[in-house]
Amino acid sequence: MNLKSYLSNTQKRIAMPIMTHPGIEYIGKRVIDAVTDGNVHFEAIRAVVERYNMAACTVIMDLTVEAEAFGAKINFPENEVPHVIERLVADETSVSNLKVPDLTAGRLPEYLKANQRAVAYFQDRPVLAGCIGPFSLAGRLYDMSEIMVAIYIEPDTILQLLEKCTTFLLAYCRRLKEIGVSGVFMSEPAAGLLSDEDCCTYSTAFVKRIVDELQDEKFAVILHNCGNTGQCTNAMIQSGAMALHFGNAVDMVATLQQCPSDVWVMGNLDPVGVLKQAEATDVYEKTLDLLNKTASYSNFVLSSGCDMPPGVPEENIQAFYQALEMFNRN
């Protein structure tokens, strides 16, 4: 389904929170089950989408799938998202020797399976895949702390690594597009650690390459950067992505003022401090407050600031949607 048309043709405010983890809990499975088995992953998607009649389907925001495909070692807790436990490359030689994986590596086939099943099942709403962004992937391969130093002392090495990451991500996103998803959430939180200038050099230039090659009326890139505190919003805009997804560290109204009106702007309720830890009444009030503050911006889409973590109370999700319903009545 065409995401741009879907968003443009509604008269009501739409919500597109990223929340597969509640679906995992609803079907009685563990996070480790969903991130390693495409069928469990799909069933979790179906459970949460149907429970709340969500406007779009989103997959798990797992920022280790692509790093694992390159060969990175991953730790798999039972009920938390996986994480990289050891750097894979450390210098120019190891980066030069790094092979770009094909789409049969690691858990990629299981994630492709989950997306394929979602596309086949949900014909009436967009299905949004997920992938990591180029700089965030490079940081997981090189080590995040180390890459923040290396961009200044070994920039050519990091640019070479980013070339390989982008080559891989282009192939992965191309396959997702062929499957028939409406777009991809490209998660680039590590770019939020950069200045606007460095973000343009080490993130936007590579994201834009993917956008320019793959984005069209039928396939949208939604650039997510929850690490951005406002200093690199301009760099995000320069990517050309059809939609920009912000975390709770930015002021949403100020961000909407900065973004072009023809770019969809999504966010930005705190997934932990509000959606998981607050009382349901507070979730309702904060959601309604955000909707009221952004009411004059037709390009705003209500969302969580990032993927909802495991353990979000169901009453809080209900409060989120109740606030949306109340807003749309007025």
Confidence band of 3 (pLDDT split at 50, 70, 90): confident
Q: Would you place residue 29 in the very low, low, confident or very high pLDDT band (cuts 50, 70, 90)?
A: very high
| Region 248-277 average pLDDT | 96
Q: How does pLDDT run across 137-185, given as a tens digit for each residue?
A: 999 999 999 999 999 999 999 999 999 999 999 999 999 999 999 999 9
Ramachandran bin of 302, using left for φ above 0, alpha for ψ from -120 to 50, beta for the remaining angles: beta
- The yes or no reply on domain 3-329 and CATH 3.10.20.600 is no
113 confidence band (pLDDT: 50, 70, 90): very high
Task: Tell me what pLDDT residue 91 has.
Answer: 96
Inter-CA distances, 217 with 62, 242, 268, 297, 298, Å: 26, 10, 25, 22, 19
The least confident of 34-43, 56-65, 249-258 is: 56-65
Mean pLDDT, rounded, for 12-23 = 93
Q: Which contacts (CB < 8 Å, 24+ apart) does range 100-103 have?
A: 100/70, 100/164, 100/167, 100/168, 101/69, 101/70, 101/71, 101/168, 102/171, 103/171, 103/172, 103/175
Matching residue, tokens 């460095």 = 198
Tell me if residue 285 falls in helix, strand or coil: helix
Q: Is the pLDDT of residue 1 over 80?
A: no
Q: Which secondary-structure segment (H or E) carries 164?
A: helix 155-179
Q: State residue 20's pLDDT score.
A: 85
218 by DSSP, 3-state: which? coil
Question: Considering the chain, what is the average pLDDT of its residues?
Answer: 96
Return the pLDDT at 164.
98
- C-alpha to C-alpha distances, 66 to 1, 124, 131, 139, nearest whole angstrom: 26, 29, 8, 12
In this prediction, residues 182-195 reach a mean pLDDT of 97
> Domain residue spans in the chain?
3-329
Structure tokens at 137: 């992937």
pTM score: 0.96
User: Model confidence over 49-104: pLDDT tens digits?
Assistant: 999 999 999 988 899 999 999 999 999 999 999 999 999 999 999 999 999 999 99
pLDDT bucket at 109, cuts 50 / 70 / 90 = very high
The percentage of the chain sitting over the pLDDT mark of 70, rounded to a whole number, equals 100
Q: What confidence score (pLDDT) does residue 136 get? A: 98
Q: Render pLDDT for 203-251 as a digit per residue (tens, 0 to 9).
A: 999 999 999 999 999 999 999 999 999 999 999 999 999 999 999 999 9
